[in-house]
Amino acid sequence: MPVGEGFALNGASPASKGTISRRPRVKMEGRRARARPPGRSSSSLILTSLTRRRGDFGDSSKHRKHDIACFSSPASMERSRKARLARLLSFDALEPRAMLAVTTLVAAADSFTAAGVGAGSAPVLDALDANGSGDRAVYVRFDLSTVDLSEVTSATFKLFKTGGTRNDTIVTERFDVYGLLPLAGNTPQNWNEATLAEGGVGAEYTNTSGNGPDVSRLFSLDAEAGAAVTETVINADGAAQSITGPDLLAFLQARKADSGLATFVTYVDAGAVRGWGYSSREATDVAVRPVLELDGAVVVDPVDPEDSYPEDPVAFPRQVERLDRGVVAVRPAEGSAYIGWRLLGDDPTDVAFNVYRASGGGEPEKINRAPVTQTTDFRDNSATAGVEHTYFVRAVVDGEELAASESYTLDAATPVQQHLDIPLQIPPDGMTPSGDTYSYNANDASVGDLDGDGQYEIILKWDPSNAKDNSQSGYTGNVYVDAYTLEGELLWRIDLGRNIRAGAHYTQLAVYDFDGDGRSEVILKTAPGTIDGEGNPVLMRGYTADADYRNASGYVITGPEFLTVFDGQTGGALSTIHFEPARGSASQWGDSYGNRVDRFTVGVAYLDGERPSLIFGRGYYGPQGGFQARNEVAAYDFRDGQLTERWIFKAATNGPNPEYIGEGAHSLTIGDVDGDGYDEVVYGASAIDHDGTGLYATGLGHGDALHMSDMDPTRPGLEVFMVHESRGAYESNGRDAGGELRDAMTGELLFQIPSNDDVGRGVAMDIDPNHLGYEFWATTNEGTRMIYNVSGEALYPASGGIPYNFGVWWDADLSRELLDGTTISKWNSPGRTSLVSSNSNGINDSSGLSSNNGSKSTPTLSGDLFGDWREEVIWRRSDNSALEIWTTTISATSRLTTLMHDTQYRVAIAWQNGAYNQPPHPSFYLGTGMETPPRPLLYFGGELRGDFNADGAVNAADYTVWRDNLGSTTNLAADADRNGVVEEADRSIWLANYGAVAAAPATEEATAPAAMVSRPTVVDSVGDELTPPPFAFVIDSGLDTTAEARPVYRPATRVASPGQLDQRDLLLVRQSYFEGASDLTERDSKIASSTGADVEAPADFDGAFERLGRPFDE
């Protein structure tokens, strides 16, 4: 084939950056940007280029260099780290660095065409002419994306002979090399070495008539066939077999101009049974790995400006829950009470608080001497035992007290403890078709504001005692999903039915306000036999509720699969569609008996930057021998009562995106990794962009633990810490990354922890105040297990008793504590102190509690559920009679906005229950030495735009809120367009919505034991009914027999007295009337005159406006 013919891209997905498969970045423009968070560097990430010849690779230590990226020593990394710290104050532009020399590239991937032998990770590439069916061709790929070939004068491709299945004599006539062309049907240029031999090879490999490759579909580099190359063949183990010449250079230039990937295909052309091996890139001796030598190449920085984290990352206002203050009170000792409450995302930065207590039914009294400004907690040392105490707080802004929060009551009989009790209703025992009995255990949970009152409810999964891992056969009992209030009322129960198997990987809870109405929905995978919370079957047309799709082994690998949205208040089904990713045949997912096909992950992502979407993943393993594999991720939107698919990402060994196969984990994590304002899905060792296209795949393979946050505050963007299972994957490309820290945006490896076996656990959190940033440790088994800092420096051994599980912010400092099973402990650098355990005394005694999920020992849920920013832990009682929500009673020394208004943390709470539960992390660095995190841009689901004082009506009072805060970037109550500043556009939104009132939250009278809600009717001065009214009285049925009325957390609306000016006169004001007003004084004057207010001068307008529109005392 002539040079250049057939070199069109043909839809192949380019890869780049050494061993990481990535797609090109697209510049994003025209979006609202925010100021760079403190600690974010404005400089681009620069990786050192390495020019080397064969033989200059250094030793084979566990910090081996590979491809073009150079991993620095811990000492040099620390020097670089200090330099980055210095650059936080000032930055100089860096010129691109380059070196002109003979550049040697090591193969980025290699394999051979023999299935079932682990060809992609084998140390020997086994080439064989079987003289018939069974030929073995060798594939070797190089990445040219970081090499400038414009000045290259010559190129040489080298393979090093060794013994294979055979070790016959090699001669030039038998040594044939070709280049892979991007023809339709050919193997894609970004083929996956782990799956190429398992059915991933394309049409250029025929394996018929005694000749494996179809050379008509390849670019000839065979001298005997007339190619302009010179072959050098030496028949000796360890000797180089090479080609060089102008046709080789032409092939490389064409591949560089296309995707940057160049694959060589070589086979044994003997006409008889002959063969030998070549050392692969996994060979222990680095000097005999496949190489490509380029004379005169220029190696450029591998990260261009479009691939660096933006200096000013984009942020859109995001929909969050309108939470109440989350006031909580517990009794840590006789005669005292600990009170905590939330700092909300829309609170002014200088807000303070007063704390009130009403004792024994008396009048409330302020119990703090001065407003609380440094924390959002308080210890009341005069809370007399045996007396009922009710607590609430009032925010103080500019010296003025605002409305009272909701209250929390400590009953007179409240014992000394630091937890809330939620009684449970255990499902009845059952029996399988095989006659085995089973009972139920409370398992994982999630939270959501199901009724829109600002307080979370708990959504709990019940697993039968015969729940199975996917690898285990057998029948299981039905899975139930309950909703409970924090007071212990069972709101509803969903029965998923016989066709949803029980186990950690089968049922994932998706709880979030997906449609933005201010109330959370629950989304679950369902099937015929599912019964919703109102007792109705969940079905689509053509199916029956009594169908049974279980096979004799207890697996469900046939029959329909549904995805259902349930109403959070009632548990009733709202929308049901067919589930994607669809099952198809179980054997397409890596095995035939039903293991890999039903491994699910769940998440929530802000794919459009502002509203939440559902994420559902299926499959994250590679195939067993002889099978194909699929890994797929689907995104859904729930809008206006309809559940619709947004996109689906598909990867298959014999289909699209093969490099993403086997890269998933038993969980996923979600956040804006590239600073464009949209969330990405980090799917284990790979990442999927917000638009459903692949972002990168590292090739490090599947793993069991996954964490993402701003772990290193001295470098821009987010980082991912992950551990890996397959040695063949994590030791590929010269790496040894049993545990690894990588750049979340690019996938670039920052440091690695060596191992030589399945690394099942790994943890990332700040536990040592002596080192800025997170610390990392994992269950590696190569040498002494160590704890590392963000520079990759091994700090000290990980003691035998250190947990490898969860973390929880619990004590007074900013470092995180260790959470494992039913224990919480403090790391003492080194060593640890127990804070909560079954061996502790008093309020710290957790005996009688159990963790979940076997050896994973995870809590039912952990997160910032109420009180101050520190986290709560939910454990189940061992007898399943109740959940206990544990909250700290250690007085805080700092205050932060509730973590639930950081959307990366909030969606982490949503996906925490999935498969192998992982702890939540925020989008910013939270630890010792942290900067003040950026203020979240947010708006509330169900909010009424223009209702700046949140009284349920858009009226004149809201204008004064806008006017008083015009230009503010700190008090954003009047930021109607959610761009982070109160400005003229916000007043226009207020005016456009003037007169609107909020819809009253729906109440469910028929569903027991839901709370009963009564609301008085209020009529304004022109006789129109206002909704919602000034107060909403809530009676907690079954919990408070006195039926004491308490106002929902919402400022009261007062009624204008009849003699006052009608507020609706402001509707006479038109936008056009104000055109030409040069300043606020002139505008105020025009408003006053247009409404007929008695104003002598604009300076008196404040008083006139108050008379016109502010609420009045009755």
Average pLDDT over residues 40-48: 27
Average pLDDT over residues 691-703: 97
Coil, strand or helix at 198: helix
Cis before 1009? omega within 30: yes
Coil, strand or helix at 210: coil
pLDDT at 169 over 50: yes
pLDDT in tens, 1034-1058: 222 222 322 222 222 222 222 223 3
CB atoms within 10 A of CB 520: 28
In the numeric block, which tokens belong to residue 532?
């919703």
pLDDT at 153 over 90: yes
Residue 405 in contact with residue 325, Cβ under 8 Å? yes
DSSP H or E run through 988: helix 984-992
Average pLDDT over residues 411-419: 96
The larger pLDDT score, comparing residue 857 to residue 48, is at 857
pLDDT in tens, 974-1002: 988 877 789 999 999 999 889 888 765 44
Determine the pLDDT at residue 170: 95
Question: How sure is the predictor about 307, in pLDDT bands with cuts at 50, 70 and 90?
Answer: low
Whose CA is closest to 790, among 746, 750, 817, 850?
750
In the numeric block, which tokens belong to residue 581?
């990713």
Question: How sure is the predictor about 1023, in pLDDT bands with cuts at 50, 70 and 90?
Answer: very low
Lowest mean per-residue pLDDT among 30-39, 657-666, 930-939? 30-39
∠ at Cα 89 (315, 789), nearest 5°? Answer: 80
DSSP state of 290: -
How many Å is the Cα radius of gyration of the chain?
32
Lowest mean per-residue pLDDT among 127-136, 519-528, 631-640? 127-136
**Phi, psi values for residue 922, rounded to 5°:** -80, 175
Q: Note the Cα 32 to chain centre separation in Å.
A: 23
**Phi, psi values for residue 842, rounded to 5°:** 65, -140
The larger pLDDT score, comparing residue 586 to residue 998, is at 586
pLDDT at 1019 over 70: no
Distances (CA, A) of 758 to 345, 721, 737, 1044: 42, 16, 11, 58
The larger pLDDT score, comparing residue 621 to residue 132, is at 621
The pTM (predicted TM-score) of the whole model is: 0.71
Average pLDDT over residues 655-674: 97
Determine the pLDDT at residue 161: 97
pLDDT at 81 over 60: no
Residue 904 in contact with residue 922, Cβ under 8 Å? yes
Question: How sure is the predictor about 133, in pLDDT bands with cuts at 50, 70 and 90?
Answer: confident
Determine the pLDDT at residue 574: 98
DSSP H or E run through 823: strand 823-827
∠ at Cα 562 (432, 679), nearest 5°? Answer: 120
Determine the pLDDT at residue 55: 29
Question: How sure is the predictor about 305, in pLDDT bands with cuts at 50, 70 and 90?
Answer: low
In this prediction, what percent of the chain has a pLDDT beyond 90? 69
pLDDT in tens, 49-62: 222 222 232 333 33
Determine the pLDDT at residue 271: 85
pLDDT at 1085 over 90: no
Cis before 1028? omega within 30: yes
SS (H, E, C) 444-466: EEEEECCCCCCCCEEEEEEEECC
Query: Pseudo-torsion of CA 887, 893, 899, 901, nearest 10°?
Result: 120
pLDDT in tens, 534-556: 999 999 999 999 999 999 999 99
Determine the pLDDT at residue 102: 85
Residue 1051 in contact with residue 955, Cβ under 8 Å? no
Residue 197 in contact with residue 187, Cβ under 8 Å? no
Question: How sure is the predictor about 1006, in pLDDT bands with cuts at 50, 70 and 90?
Answer: very low
Determine the pLDDT at residue 944: 85
pLDDT in tens, 208-247: 555 689 999 999 999 999 999 999 999 999 999 999 999 9
Question: How sure is the predictor about 18, in pLDDT bands with cuts at 50, 70 and 90?
Answer: very low
pLDDT in tens, 730-774: 999 889 999 999 999 999 999 999 999 999 999 999 999 999 999
Q: Strands, DSSP E only, in 663-744?
A: 669-671, 680-683, 686-688, 694-697, 706-709, 719-723, 739-743
The larger pLDDT score, comparing residue 6 to residue 166, is at 166
pLDDT in tens, 242-286: 999 999 999 999 999 988 999 999 999 888 999 999 999 999 898
d(CA 633, CA 643): 16
For the chain, give the longest Cα–Cα distance.
109
